[in-house]
Structure 1
Amino acid sequence: MPIDLEALARELGVDLAGTTTPATPADHPEAGKNPLPDGENPCRHPTPAPRRQVPASAGNGGGGQEDCRRLPAFAGVLPAVSAGNDFADEDGHKPPLEGGLQALPATPAGVGAPARVAPTPPPVVLVEDLASLEGVLPLLAREEVAGFDLETTGLDLNTAKVRLVSFFLPRAGRAYVLDLFRLGEGVVEKLFSGEGPGLVGHNLAFDLAFLMARGLYPLGLPWDTGLVDQVLGHRARMRPLEEVAGEAGIPLDKSLQASDWSGPLSEAQVRYAGLDAWAAWAIRQAQEPQVERLGLREVVAVEMAALPAVALMRLRGVPFDPGLWQEAVAEAEARKEATLARLREFEAGLLQGAVNWDSPQQALKALKALGLALPDTREDTLAQHGEHPAVKALLEYRAWAKRVSTYGREWGKYLHPKTGRIHPSWHQIGAETGRMACSKPNLQQVPREPALRRAFRAPEGRVLVKADYSQIELRLAAVIAQEGAMLKAFREGQDLHALTASLVLGKPLEAVSKEDRQLAKALNFGLIYGLGAEGLRRYALAGYGVRLSPEEAQTLREAFFRAYPGLKRWHRAQPEGAAGLRTLLGRRRITDRYTEKLNTPVQGSGADGLKLALGFLYQELVGRGLQEEVYPVLAVHDEVVVEAPEALAEEALALLVGAMKRGMEAVVKGRVPVEVEADIYLDWGVETWAEVL
């Protein structure tokens, strides 16, 4: 069934036409579930610890006496099996992950009841001729959901081939394994064109990306049991299929995970492939009751909405100019050597002789010999003495050394030889807050330095459209803390940093200087997450170049919370010890750390909004048939970058901004305006397209 964006949008309170339905108390995802005392933060309340869910019986549909068999000319309909369990799979050819929009369908009647015994694996049928395939297609078409898995000849989306497509069809009570080496890869289009069952699998971004590489963009509602497991356990890493299956009491043997899928198939391999698809379906049946019990329906919908977009990012990769990158690396290496030479000048006359400035111990000893009595050589400690020429040189040296070591020449190894692009690993849930993560390489941590970001350059005739949420963490904190002055400022379109400077320093708005505003930025971004006076002092200097005495930091901190008492109440409302937290859409996390109690609802709500935006964007692109030309390539916390041909640049800009607004508006529900800043570039935010027109 196609993903109904409008259904989820209505449920979340956002109008796809662009207006947002104001929230009422009943609109809140926690309404009617766990009423809170008056004045208590709706994003912080005790959450019951998850209990082990015993999977429902999967039935046997003829049972385990049938093993793997080839299917002759197919006739008739096999008996349906009773509803069972739903689990996901991560087959040996899927890289491990670490950490459409629609209200999820209700669990079918009879599903989810605790089982007395482990579910029985179904028969597995090998399909390797077209006549047999024609018999399977009607069975597939009548399913609402189906377990799904691919076996491929390798991990590389751009070079590996799909060998097996496996489905578990619950009504038929069997798993069907389609051998594409015998059937031909062209049959894949028959399987996924038009409406079909929702796909249930484990680490589905891998499978979906393989389908997309063949021009197929399934619109059925997916259910990734790996992602759902992360949501249920607020995990930052996706667990392997066999671990999730074992916990749910579902038998699964992964010993054939890394076998050769390019040669003749053994009966054991075929059975393995079919049972992976069955396990996915079985795990879902175990997960659905837990999702309902913990109030995570909307959160799972958000993750499933974003999933195809993440798969598409994985497939398309990021444009990268190795020549420009090497220029940046060469400059960093030269700067590193130049600053090291400056440091060497301070060694003259030191009793210890040559100093290894990369060693914190030797650097500290040398600085003490130069008359600086420092407790350590941490960056924030050194920043307090940044006017000393040796300290200034050391800070610069470390910055360039880090640039060389982290963003050095080895980045060329990530360039794909076939596509000429970087294809990083995107982890849809890469943190316990729900934020995404990226690795191999980590593009989310590339500094905003123009020398580096200009290397991510669109190919000739194409552009990169970059859009960022404006001050989204402050907006979300204001909503969560119910901070009236901040909410009023955002609703009236005021400059919050200027307002903070005015309130804290006691100046009229028109008298606020550039320096005052810089100070206010340090206060706003530093204090919403509970920094103390000393933490604020270090943060202001390291992040904003604002030097404060301990007394000034304390005075400013007190003035800030007088100006924004809602934030102070929110901070004080956090309980001691472990507590259950919720984002505005209901994503849960249990933690006993004070700072996490503050940043989890904010950053998690931001992640929910950005993922909804990716889901809306994907649906718009596929709905307009643009997904082969316009597609997301980067997602960095509050930013999305889309690549498009120049002829579609303006349309891509409008689609991206609209999707990002709708996504975050579904989270804040009219309580604060959502602003998106966007432009069209030739690269990752350095040279605008307008500059060359």
Structure 2
Amino acid sequence: ATPEAGVVEVAGLPEGVEGFELHYIPEVGPGMGELLDLLMRQPVLGVDLETTGLDPHTSRPRLLSLAMPGAVVVFDLFGVPLEVFYPLFSREEGPLLVGHNLKFDLLFLLKAGVWGASGKRLWDTGLAHQVLHAQARMPALKDLAPELDKTLQTSDWSGPLSPEQLAYAALDAVVPLSLYGEQKKRARAMGLEKVLEVEHRALPAVAWMELRGVPFAPDLWEEAAREAEREAEALRGELPFGVNWNSPAQVLAYLKGEGLDLPDTREDTLAGYREHPLVAKLLRYREAAKRVSTYGKEWAKHLNPATGRIHPSWQQIGAETGRMACRKPNLQQVPRDPALRRAFRPPEGKVLLKADFSQIELRIAAAIAREGRMLQAFREGKDLHALTASLVLGKPLEEVGKEDRQLAKALNFGLLYGLGAEGLRRYALTAYGVKLTPEEAQRLREAFFRAYPALKRWHRSQPEGEVEVRTLLGRRRTTDRYTEKLNTPVQGTGADGLKMALALLWENRALLWKAFPVLAVHDELVLESPEEGAREYLEALTALMRQGMEEVLGNAVPVEVEGGIYRDWGATPWEEEA
């Protein structure tokens, strides 16, 4: 039977966890007001939710554990409504709430409508560990407290509770609280306080985005999948018979027999031979086959039956650079193919607001390298790709054409992180369809660094061996790889700015009324919005994104945000139907 109200014994504490009294509250009683006042007066509280399942749309919160030094109060939420805790979770002032993987708890608190505070009141021991150790994966709580017994994690939380379950729930709030002090001290010593502030301020927005989910039209997606299947089948029929065109070994042998001396059949290798009719057809077949295998009809399984939307798992720190990642499914890798993107379509009366930072990695690199010519171009609002083409080709700006600009894009983005001449040649071909001889690639590379000498100095200043590199905000990473020494400060600073923008979206959500974030893709944010007022909400979105990045970058370089209003994810402009 469920234990009665009162003190519950707790045995077998993990190392480093001090003894405490566990107070179990099964229902609202006469002393509830005083107890809440006591909790609200604490400077720091450990917090944890136990729930009947993992999905906030179909599961219920069961236990709320709130820990302070020497005592933990465990509330049974079947008898104490979560609304009772609205003052604790909704005010800007109140205890710092310390927990592990707090996104999970926030999903349920947001679903119940009781979370309204900013992330400034949060400390997530999982995120903090990732920042302190520059890790791309959030550790489990047991990784940080190895003696913690997690066997009851998958027990039945929907029926009568045992004293062991109450003790388990209490420890999930106590252990993060015991880790907090040391983490905070280390963050201060390592100069990571600003980074952790941004991570925690962004946390409610990430949970908000995951809870609201992404609109998805399975019929449009399946139509695109069927079209890709038909295309793949037709192209396979046009390829020579008797070869398994999905086998790299057989493909390589056949192409060599056709007189093509290839080292392998990777896409970037084949791209150099795309003028050969067979190679061109093979590349088109592979592209269609990949669309079928990666973005086929199976995607419908990701739809949540309770909401009719996709709720991917957003990993707030999903890479060692600090960038976010997305799983189940990975929406960040959906190709820009309009046939696929139009399937991400909100219901009638809604639109998607899409905004992205313009050339943000080039701007950040220019700021880090103090490349004067680039910085001046950005300050004067010049087209950097046209300027690069003019400088490396020796042409007046007004004579720079579309093809010149494509070449300049390959140079700007390809040489930013230290590509050699051969790497540039491959990148220009695969990313921009620009064909260069080895000699041309070498000559253009040299001309690029003559045009932007501070970039060259920045590249050459990287020390040998393993070093610590930092973003402008202070996020750290240790690496011995040359390209990572260059791209981590740039991409990581971009990630810091995007998360600051997410934090500001949450903190200024009153400006957005019924608009909310659905996607965050590296330098792009997408919000779902009512049609009415969409232009005003787009203005608010772009202004907050600009502010967020400026708070990270300072005034070293101007930040530009480009935005638009669409019927779907960037494929169909809204104005066409307005």
Where on the TM-score scale, by shorter chain, does this alignment land: which range? over 0.9
C-alpha contact (below 8 Å) 2:126/2:139 kept by paired residues: yes
CA RMSD of aligned residues (A): 1.5
What's the counterpart of residue 568 of structure 2? Answer: 683
C-alpha contact (below 8 Å) 1:140/1:196 kept by paired residues: no
What's the counterpart of residue 10 of structure 2? Answer: none
C-alpha contact (below 8 Å) 1:69/1:124 kept by paired residues: no
What's the counterpart of residue 228 of structure 1? Answer: 128
Q: How far 1:624 sits from its partner (Å)?
A: 5.0
Q: How far 1:122 sits from its partner (Å)?
A: 1.3
Equivalences for residues 350-369 of structure 1 within 5 A: 354-369=242-257
What whole-Å deviation, never above 9, does each CA across 1:604-662 have from its counterpart, x for those lacking one?
A: 000000000000011100x4583xx2210100000000111112312321221111001
Q: Structure 1: which amino acid aligns with 2:27?
A: D
Q: Structure 2: which amino acid aligns with 1:146?
A: L
Q: How far 1:69 sits from its partner (Å)?
A: 7.3
CA distance in 1: counterparts of 2:496 and 2:83, whole angstroms: 37
Q: How far 1:135 sits from its partner (Å)?
A: 3.4
| SS class of match (1:181) | coil
Q: How far 1:343 sits from its partner (Å)?
A: 0.6
Residue 434 in structure 1 maps to residue 322 in structure 2: yes
**Against the structure 1 CA distance between its residues 161 and 625, is the aligned structure 2 distance closer, same or farther, given a 3 Å change threshold?**
farther
| SS class of match (2:149) | coil
What's the counterpart of residue 133 of structure 1? Answer: 32
Q: Structure 1: which amino acid aligns with 2:236?
A: L
What whole-Å deviation, never above 9, does each CA across 1:53-104 have from its counterpart, x for those lacking one?
A: xxxxxxxxxxxxxxx97239xxxxxxxxxxxxxx9xxxxxxxxxxxxxxxxx
Structure 1 gaps, min length 5:
1-67, 73-86, 88-116, 348-353
What's the counterpart of residue 274 of structure 1? Answer: 170
What whole-Å deviation, never above 9, does each CA across 1:28-67 have from its counterpart, x for those lacking one?
A: xxxxxxxxxxxxxxxxxxxxxxxxxxxxxxxxxxxxxxxx
CA distance in 1: counterparts of 2:437 and 2:394, whole angstroms: 19
CA distance in 2: counterparts of 1:427 and 1:377, whole angstroms: 33
Match of 1:648 among 509, 533, 536: 533
Match of 1:143 among 35, 42, 60: 42
Equivalences for residues 87-126 of structure 1 within 5 A: 118-126=16-24
Instruction: Detail structure 1 runs of 4+ shifted over 4 Å in the superposition.
Output: none
Q: Structure 1: which amino acid aligns with 2:166?
A: V
With structure 1 as the length reference, what TM-score do the two structures score? Answer: 0.80
**Against the structure 1 CA distance between its residues 157 and 167, is the aligned structure 2 distance closer, same or farther, given a 3 Å change threshold?**
same
C-alpha contact (below 8 Å) 1:121/1:278 kept by paired residues: no
CA distance in 1: counterparts of 2:77 and 2:259, whole angstroms: 74
Q: Structure 2: which amino acid aligns with 1:234?
A: A
What's the counterpart of residue 115 of structure 2? Answer: 217
Match of 2:213 among 300, 317, 330: 317
Residue 308 in structure 1 maps to residue 204 in structure 2: yes
Q: Structure 2: which amino acid aligns with 1:215?
A: G
| SS class of match (1:256) | helix
**Against the structure 1 CA distance between its residues 667 and 186, is the aligned structure 2 distance closer, same or farther, given a 3 Å change threshold?**
closer
CA distance in 2: counterparts of 1:255 and 1:245, whole angstroms: 14
What's the counterpart of residue 204 of structure 1? Answer: 102
Q: Structure 2: which amino acid aligns with 1:386?
A: R
The total of aligned residue pairs comes to 566
What's the counterpart of residue 52 of structure 2? Answer: 153
CA distance in 2: counterparts of 1:603 and 1:355, whole angstroms: 42
**Against the structure 1 CA distance between its residues 625 and 336, is the aligned structure 2 distance closer, same or farther, given a 3 Å change threshold?**
closer
Q: Structure 2: which amino acid aligns with 1:652?
A: Y
What's the counterpart of residue 520 of structure 1? Answer: 408
C-alpha contact (below 8 Å) 1:384/1:541 kept by paired residues: yes
CA distance in 2: counterparts of 1:293 and 1:184, whole angstroms: 41
What's the counterpart of residue 6 of structure 2? Answer: 71
Q: How far 1:121 sits from its partner (Å)?
A: 3.1
CA distance in 2: counterparts of 1:121 and 1:597, whole angstroms: 45
C-alpha contact (below 8 Å) 1:127/1:133 kept by paired residues: no
Q: Which has the higher contact order (CA 8 A, sep 6+)?
A: 1
Q: Structure 2: which amino acid aligns with 1:235?
A: Q
C-alpha contact (below 8 Å) 1:642/1:652 kept by paired residues: no
Q: Structure 1: which amino acid aligns with 2:62?
A: R
CA distance in 2: counterparts of 1:119 and 1:396, whole angstroms: 60
| SS class of match (2:532) | helix
CA distance in 1: counterparts of 2:309 and 2:416, whole angstroms: 39
CA distance in 2: counterparts of 1:485 and 1:529, whole angstroms: 18
Q: How far 1:193 sits from its partner (Å)?
A: 4.1
C-alpha contact (below 8 Å) 2:62/2:157 kept by paired residues: yes
CA distance in 1: counterparts of 2:460 and 2:548, whole angstroms: 30
What whole-Å deviation, never above 9, does each CA across 1:305-335 have from its counterpart, x for those lacking one?
A: 1100000011000000001101111111111
Q: How far 1:133 sits from its partner (Å)?
A: 2.7
